[in-house]
Amino acid sequence: MNIWEIIVITLIKILIVFTLLLLTVSYLVYFERKISAWAQNRIGPNRTGWKGALQPFADVGKLLLKEDIVPVNASKVVHTLAPVIALFVAFTTFAVIPIGPDIKLFGYNIQLVAADVNIGILYVLALTSLGVYAITFAGWSSGSKYSLLGGIRSSAQMISYEISMGFSVAGVLLLAGSLRPYDIVYSQSGWLWNAVIQPIGFITFFVSAFAETNRLPFDLPEAEPELVGGYHTEYSSMKFASFFLAEYANMIISGALIVTLYLGGWHFPWLESFGLAPWLVVAIQILTFIFKLAFILFFFMWVRWSIPRFRYDQLMNLGWKVMFPLSLLNLVWVAIVVMYIKP
Amino acid sequence: MAVKKRTKDLTFWQKIYLPEIAKGLALTFKNMVKPKYTIEYPEDKFIPPPSYRGRPVLVMEADGEERCVACGLCARVCPPLAIEVQASETEKEKERYPVKFEINMLRCIFCGFCEEVCPEEAIVMSKDYELAFTSREEAIYGKDKLLTPIDQLNDRIEFLRKYK
Amino acid sequence: MATITIDGKKIEFKSGQTIIQAAKDNGINIPHFCWHPKLSISGNCRVCLVEVAKMPKLVIACATLAADGMVVFTNSEKAVNARNAVMEFILINHPLDCPICDEAGECKLQEYAYDYSVGESRFKEEKQHKEKRVPLGPNVMFDGERCISCSRCIRFCDEIVKEPQLTFVQRGDRVTIVTYPGKELDNDYSLNVTDICPVGALTNRDFRFKSRVWEMSTTKSVCTGCSRGCNSDIWVRNNLILRITPRENEKVNSYWMCDHGRLNTFKNINQLETRINGAFIKEGLSHVPTEWESAYRKAANELKKYAKDEIAFIGSPFATNEDNYLLAKIAKNFGVSNLDFMRHENPAFGDDILKRNDITPNSFGAELAGIRPGKNGFALSEIIQKINDGKIKVVYLLEDDIAESNPEAAEAFAKLKLLIVHSVNFNKTTDLAHIIFGAAAYAEKNGTMINFEGRVQRIRPAVALATPDKSLDGQKLSRQDKFGTEYDSWAQKNIKDALPSWTILMNVAKELDFRLKYNIAEDIFLEMSKNIDALNGLNYNILGELGVPVKDSINQPLAKAL
C-alpha cells in the first residue's frame, strides 16, 4: 500500500464512521424517547413514519428552522466556538476505536479503525478532557447565571471523575501492557474480559463514563429544575443541536470505550472453536461489537429513566470519597493479578 | 449547614447503593415490557362510561322539542356564568321555552351543576369531549348545537335517576 | 305607652294597632300572605297564627288588637306546628311549577316554604285543576292554580282604586278569581296587583317570561311619567330595562305606581332603532353621524355667528335639575336672555290617587334651576312668536319634543336658521334640528328631580352607556353584571353612545370659551345648593333613597306659583 492508497482508504473509513455516527446519534434520540416512554408505560413518538421512525428527521428539520439566538451579553466568538469544540471532540475520539479485527477486501488488508494509534487510549483521554472546554466556554460565554453555574458544575464534575476514570483505565493498561486499543482487545480474547478480572475497575469506569457524558444521574450541568437548561440555556437552533449531537456522540464513544476496554471488544467467547469460515467469523465479530455497544447504550438510557439525579454534594462525595479510592484499590488488585496470578 | 440526622438509618446493602440501583432498574424494565394502556386517540376513541361529564347538552324529545322550560336555574347555579337563557311564551302546556339557550364552552368547567339542578331533566352531560374552536364566537354553543335526541342520552339519564 | 311582649322582646305600640303591625314597626317579621299594611284586614290565610299567653287558642296576628301586657310567642311549639299545618294546607293545591312561574325568586310562598314549612306533603291525591293563563285585563295575566285566595288583589281594587273589578267565585278548593261580568281588570293601577300577589297567580303581561328576577340588576330611581315622581326600582338585564316596580315611600307613592309609569317610561330607552347614538349634524336633508368633538365645535361656532337676542335657550321639565341649571348658567354667561321651558299639562291624565295633570317629572326643578326669561328676555310663547317674525333665528333645546306636543312650535322651528337639540330618541323635533346630541335617558345618568310637592329625589344610572357613569350607589347588581367581562355577550349588548346633557353642555360651553369643571353630576348639584336657597345644604347623600323636600320657607313665591 502506498501513501495515496492509505489516505484514500482512511478518508473512506472516516466518511463511513462519520455518517454512521450521525445516523446513530439521531436514532439514539429516538430510542431515548421510546425507552423513556416504555419505562413510563407510554408509547412514545408514533406519528412520523412507521412507529415514529422518521421522528429524528423531523427533529432535525425543526432544529434547523429555528431562529438562532445569541444573547446580548454573550461573548459572540466563544459562544459560537463552544458547540464546535463539543462536536469536534465527540467525533474525533471515535477515530481510534476498533470495531473488528482486520479484514481483507479487494486485496487490501484493512483495519476496522480509522487510525490505529499506538497511544490510542491516551488520545481518547486527552480529547475527552478537552470536552470540558466546550461546556465551560458555553457556560461562561452565554452571559447567563444559569449557564455559568452549569458550566462551573460541569468542569468540577468532569475533572473529579476524570481522576477515577484515569486510574481505572490504568488497571486495564497494566493488564494489557499497551496503550494501543487493538492490543487491549486482543489481551482479553476468550471470556477473560477485563470486566471479569477487575470488576471494581469496570464499575468505577462505568460510573465515571456516566459522569463524563453528563448523563443522568450525573446531569447536574443541565439540571432543569434548578438551572433551567444549564450551559445550553442560551443556545438555540443548530448550536443547541450541536450540543445535543455531541452528548449522544459522547455516549456512543463511552459505550465503545467500555466495550473495548472491559467487554472484550469484538470478541465472541470461543468463536474460534466453532470452525467457521473466516469472513463469517469477522462478520460475527463486528456484529458482536455492535451488539455489545447497543446494550451499553440501552443501559445508559435505562439508567437515565430509573435513577434520580444526585445532589451536588453527593456527586462530589461519590467522586472523591468513593470512586477515587475504589479505583486505587482496583489498581492494587490488578497489580497483584499481574504479579502473581497471571503468568 | 445544619446537619439533620436521618430518621431512618440505611442498612449496609442500601449504603452500597448498587443493589438499590439494580432494584430500580428491574422495576423500570418490568414496566418497559408491560402492555401499554394508551388509547391512540384519533384512531381509537375513548367511549366514556355514563358517569362521565362531557359537554352539557339539551335533551330533545321525540317530537323534536326541548324539554327545557327556561327556568334559568342552570344559569343561576353555573359557577363560571357559562349559560345564558332567554325564555319566551309558548302555546304548549309547558307555557315557557327557551328562545335562546347558549353555553359558552370557553367558560364551562364541566362541573355538572346545571344537570344536577335541572328540575326537568332537560340538560344533561353528554359523552362528547371533542371540543375545539378557532374563535370565541364559535365557542358559544346555541340551541342548534345543544339539542340532542333523547335516545343518545338514555344511559346518562338512567345513571342520574339511579344516583342523583 | 302600652307595651306588649313578642318572643321575649318588650315593645311599645300605639293603641289600635294589631299584633302584626306592632311587630312590623319594631322589626319583627310575622309571616303573612293576606295581610297588607295598606289594605283592610281579611284574615283568611291563617299563616300569621301566633300563641298569646292565657288565650286558649292560637290567634291570627293580623286581626288581633294588641293589648297592654300581652305576651306573644311566634315561635312556640304550638305556633310553629300550626304554621307548618297552614303551609301544608296552602301547598296542597299549589302547583309545583316554580321553574315556569315568573314569581319565583320573589315569591312569598316560596320563601315561607323554605323558612316555615317541613317541606313534605302528605297529600297524594290529584291536585285541583283550574284555568291557567287567563288574561284578566290588558296588563294582567291570571293563573288559577297558583292562586292561594288571599284576596289582596280584590281588596286593592275595592279599597285603593275604588273600582271593584275582581271577585271570588266558587267555594272550598274550587274558589277562583274572576272579573265581574262585563268588566275587565283595566284600571289605571292594575299592575299593582302583580306586586301584592304573594304568589305567581297574577303576572305582568308585559314582563311575562322576559327574565328571572335574580338575573336583573335593580336600581333605585324615580318614575318620570308625571310630576308625582313615584319612587321606583328599575330592573335591568343585558342593558335593557325590563320592568319598573314601585319602591315604598310613604311621602310620595306609598306602595303603588300607575300602569302608565310602569309601562310607558322605559320602552323608548331600550329602542335601539330610535335611540340617538352619538352626535348628528344635518347635511342637506339627512342627519349624518359626527364625532362628539366636532359636533361641539360646530355647535359653538354656529352659535357665535348670531347676535345674542337672536338666540333662545329652552330648558326641559324632563331633564334633571343639574342639566337645567347648567343651561341657565351658560345662557347667562353667554348673554342670552330668551330662556324658558315648556310645560306639559294633560287635564285628562290626573286623578286623585297618584297621577297628576303635569305629565313632566321636573317642572318644579326646571323653574327652580333658573329656567325663566332673563332681563328683557322672552317666554316660550313670545319666543315662538319672534321666531315667526324672524327675530329669533337660533334655538338651543334640551331633551323635550316640543314639536310633537305643540304644532305651533313645530311650524316655527322649521323656520329657524339653527336648531340644536339634545334628545334621547329621534322624534319630530330632531327631524327639524341642525345639530343633534344623543342625550342619556333618566335611567342612564345621575341627577335629581323635584316633584310637584317640591321633593328633591335622586335618579341613578341603571343602564350602562358607552361612556359609563362609574358611580354605582343604589344599585343591586345581578351576578351576571357583577362578574361579566368584556367578552360576555350580555355585557356588550345594547350599549348606546349617549352622554348626560350636562356633559354635552359643558363641552359646548368649553368651545364657547366658557370653561366649566364638573366631574360628576353631584358637583353641579353642590353648586346649586350653594346658589339656590331652596336647596341650601343639600347633597346626594342627604337626599338618600327617599329624597327630601325643598326649603319652601325661603322660596315661598315659587312654591305658591306651582
pLDDT in tens, C131-189: 999 999 999 999 999 999 999 999 999 999 999 999 999 998 899 999 999 999 999 99
The beta-carbon neighbor of A38 closest among B25, B31, B37 is B31
| Chain B residue with minimum CA distance to C100 | B71
Q: Per-residue pLDDT for C360 more than 90?
A: yes
The whole-angstrom distance between B31's CA and the closest CA on chain A is 5
Contact C488 B140 (CB under 8 A): no
CATH of residue B87: 3.30.70.3270
Cα C201 from Cα C193, distance rounded (Å): 10
Pick from B81, B86, B88: CB nearest C479: B81
Beta-strand relationship, C134-135 and C140-142: antiparallel
Yes or no, beta carbons of B32 and A306 under 8 Å apart: no
A317-321, B81-85, B110-114, C254-258, range with the lowest pLDDT: A317-321
Alpha-carbon distance of C380 to C398, in angstroms, equals 13
Q: What are phi and psi of B66, to 5 degrees?
A: -80, 155
Q: Helix C321-334 to helix C521-531 angle, to the nearest 10 degrees?
A: 70
Picking from C99, C214, C490, the nearest residue to B69 by CB comes out as C99
Tally A–B CB contacts below 8 A: 35
Three-state DSSP class for residue A108: strand
Residues 6+ apart with CB under 8 A from C4: C10, C11, C13, C19, C22, C66, C67, C68, C69, C70, C71, C72
Using CB atoms, pick whichever of C100, C214, C484 lies closest to residue B76: C214
Three cell numbers written together for C100: 315556569
Show the cell assigned to C546: 327617599
- Give A174 to chain B, closest Cα distance, Å: 26
Q: Does residue A217 have a cis bond before it (omega within 30 degrees)?
A: yes
A140: which strand partners? none
pLDDT in 10s for each residue of chain A, 343 residues: 688 888 888 888 888 888 888 888 888 888 888 888 888 888 888 888 888 888 888 888 888 888 888 888 888 888 888 888 888 888 888 888 887 777 777 777 777 777 777 888 888 888 888 888 888 888 888 888 888 888 888 888 888 888 888 888 888 888 888 888 888 888 887 777 877 788 888 888 888 888 888 787 887 777 677 777 777 888 888 888 888 888 888 888 888 888 888 888 787 777 777 777 777 888 888 888 888 889 999 998 888 888 888 888 888 888 888 888 988 998 898 888 888 876 5
Q: Mind listing the pLDDT tens digit for each residue in C473-532?
A: 666 778 887 787 777 777 777 888 999 999 999 999 999 999 999 988 999 999 999 998
pLDDT value for A220: 74
Is residue C345 within 8 Å of residue C357, measured between CB atoms? Answer: yes
**Partner-chain contact A306 B21, CB within 8 Å:** yes
Tell me the domain boundaries of chain C.
2-91, 279-463+498-549
Among residues of chain C, what percentage have pLDDT more than 90?
Answer: 75
Label residue A273 exposed, middle or buried (CB < 10 Å: 0-12, 13-18, 19+): exposed
Q: What residues in B contact C208, CB-CB < 8 Å?
A: 89
The burial of B152, by beta-carbon neighbours within 10 Å (0-12 exposed, 13-18 middle, 19 or more buried), is given as middle
Containing structural domain, residue A91: 3-341
DSSP letter at B156 equals: H
Residue burial B40-79, b: 16+ Cβ < 10 Å; e: rest: eeeeeeeeeebebbbbbbbbbeeeeebbbbbbbbbbbebe
Q: Are strands B147-149 and C9-12 parallel, antiparallel or unpaired?
A: unpaired
CA distance C202 to chain B (A): 15
Name C280's bridge partners: C289, C436
Choice among B5-9, C160-164, C318-322, C458-462 with the minimum mean pLDDT: B5-9
Chain A contact for B18 (CB, 8 A cutoff): yes
Per the document, the length of chain A is 343
CB-based contact, C210 to chain B, within 8 Å: yes
Q: How far is A160 from chain B (nearest CA, A)?
A: 20
* Facing residue for B89 by CB, picked from C208, C214, C484: C208
Residues of A in contact with B21 (CB under 8 A): 303, 306-307
Q: Least CA distance to A303: which residue of chain B?
A: B25
Contact A307 B24 (CB under 8 A): yes
Per-residue model confidence as pLDDT tens digits over C395-432? 999 999 999 988 999 999 999 999 999 999 999 999 99
Confidence band, pLDDT 50/70/90 cuts, at residue C323: very high
Would you call A14 helix, strand, or coil by DSSP?
Answer: helix
Chain B residue numbers touching C491 (CB-CB < 8 A): none
Compute the distance between CA of residue C75 and CA of residue A112 in angstroms, rounded to an integer: 104
Is the CB of B15 inside 8 Å of chain A's CB atoms? no
Note whether B96 contacts C100, CB cutoff 8 Å. Answer: yes
- Those residues whose C-beta lies under 8 Å from the C-beta of residue C132, and which sit 6 or more positions away, are B95, C143, C144, C145
HEC secondary structure over C72-134: EECCCHHHHHHHHHHHHHHHHCCCCCCCCCCCCCCCHHHHHHHHHCCCCCCCCCCCCCCCCCE
Burial (0-12, 13-18, 19+ Cβ within 10 Å), A119: middle
Residues 6 or more apart from C192 whose CB is under 8 A from it? C156, C160, C246, C255, C256, C257
Q: C561 pLDDT band (50/70/90 cuts)?
A: very low
Rounded to whole angstroms, what are the CA distances from C322 to C367, C373, C436, C518, C520?
Answer: 12, 18, 20, 11, 10
In this complex, the residue of B24, B33, B40 whose CB is nearest that of residue A306 is B24
Contact list, B86 vs chain C (CB under 8 Å): 211
Q: Pull the grid cell for residue B23.
A: 432494584
The helix or strand, by DSSP H or E, that contains position C541, with its residue range, turns out to be: helix C540-543
pLDDT computed for residue C562 by the predictor: 37
**Between chain B and chain C, are at least 3 CB pairs below 8 A?**
yes
B29 — contact with chain A (CB < 8 Å)?
Answer: yes
Residue of C424, C470, C507 lying closest to C241 (CA atoms): C424
Cβ B81–C480 below 8 Å, yes or no?
yes
Look at C483 and B119 and tell me if their CB atoms are within 8 Å: no
Confidence label for C559 from pLDDT (cuts 50, 70 and 90): very low
The C-alpha atoms of residue C179 and residue A83 are separated, in whole angstroms, by 96
Cβ contact C215–B136 (<8 Å): no
Chains B & C: contacts with CB separation below 8 Å: 48
By the CB < 8 Å criterion, does B27 face chain A? Answer: yes
Strand C49-52 vs strand C9-12: parallel, antiparallel, or unpaired?
unpaired
What chains are in contact with B, requiring at least 3 Cβ pairs below 8 Å? A, C
SS3 at position B79: coil
Q: Which chains share 3+ C-beta pairs under 8 angstroms with C?
A: B
**C99·B136 Cβ contact <8 A:** no
Distance CA A42, CA B32 (A): 9
- B20 found inside a domain: no
pLDDT, mean of residues C337-348:
91
> Which pLDDT score is estimated for A256?
86
Strand order in the sheet with C286-290: C286-290, C279-283, C435-438, C418-423, C394-397, C311-314, C338-340
What residue has cell string 343591586?
Answer: C476
Q: Nearest Cα to C90, choosing from C70, C73, C113, C114?
A: C113
For the stretch C439-479, pLDDT in tens is 999 999 999 999 998 999 999 998 888 887 655 566 677 88
Close Cβ partners of B41 (under 8 Å, ≥ 6 residues apart): none
Mutate to test the interface with A, among B18, B23, B32, B39 (most CBs of A within 10 A): B32
Helix H segments across A107-187? Answer: 120-141, 145-176, 181-187
Please tell me the distance from the alpha carbon of residue C490 to that of residue C216, in angstroms, as a whole number: 11
- Does residue C557 register a pLDDT over 50? no
The Cα of A43 is separated from the nearest Cα of chain B by a number of Å equal to 7
- Give the count of domains, chain A: 1
pLDDT tier for residue C560 given thresholds of 50, 70 and 90: very low
Residue B23 belongs to some domain of the structure: no
Confirm or reject contact between B38 and chain A (CB < 8 A): yes
Cα dihedral sign, C27-C29-C34-C40: negative
CATH 3.40.630.30 fits C2-91, yes or no: no
Fold of the C279-463+498-549 domain: Rossmann fold (3.40.50)
| CA C365 – CA C328 distance, rounded (Å) | 12
Check residue B84 and report its DSSP letter.
E
- B24 near A CB under 8 A: yes
- Say how many C-beta atoms besides its own lie within 10 A of residue B109's C-beta: 11
Number of domains in chain B: 1
The 3-state DSSP class for residue B61 equals: coil
Q: What DSSP letter does each residue of C417-472 carry, written as one string?
A: SEEEEEESB--HHHHH-SEEEEBPPGGGS-EEEE-TT-EEEEE---S-BSS-----
Residues of chain C with Cβ-Cβ distance to B70 below 8 Å are: 209
In angstroms, what CA-CA distances link C14 with C18, C39, C59, C67, C156? 9, 18, 20, 10, 25
Domain ranges, residue B63: 56-163
CA distance A129 to B155: 68
Contacts of C103 in chain B (CB under 8 A): none
CB–CB contact B36 A43 (8 Å): yes
**Chain C contact set for B140 (CB, 8 A):** 489
> Mean pLDDT over residues C373-383, rounded?
88
Contact yes or no for A203 and B36 at CB 8 A: no
Full DSSP string of C150-203 = --HHHHIIIIII----EEEES-GGG-EEEEPTT--S-STTTTHHHHH-SSTTEE
Domain assignment present for residue B129? The answer is: yes
Among C107, C131, C142, C212, the strongest candidate for a mutation testing the B interface, having the largest count of B CBs within 10 A, is C212
Across A64-129, where does the E strand assignment appear?
Answer: 103-105, 108-110
Q: What is the dihedral of CA B86, B90, B94, B99, to 10 degrees?
A: -20
d(CA C116, CA C17): 25
Give residue C322's pLDDT: 94
Quote the minimal CA–CA distance from B40 to chain A in Å.
Answer: 9
In angstroms, the CA A33 to CA C22 distance is 82
- Could you give the CA distance from residue B94 to residue C65 in angstroms, rounded to a whole number? 45
What are residue B103's DSSP bridge partners? Answer: B83, B141
Among A94-108, B51-65, C97-111, C360-374, the range scoring the smallest mean pLDDT is A94-108
Closest Cβ opposite residue C215 in set B72, B88, B89:
B72
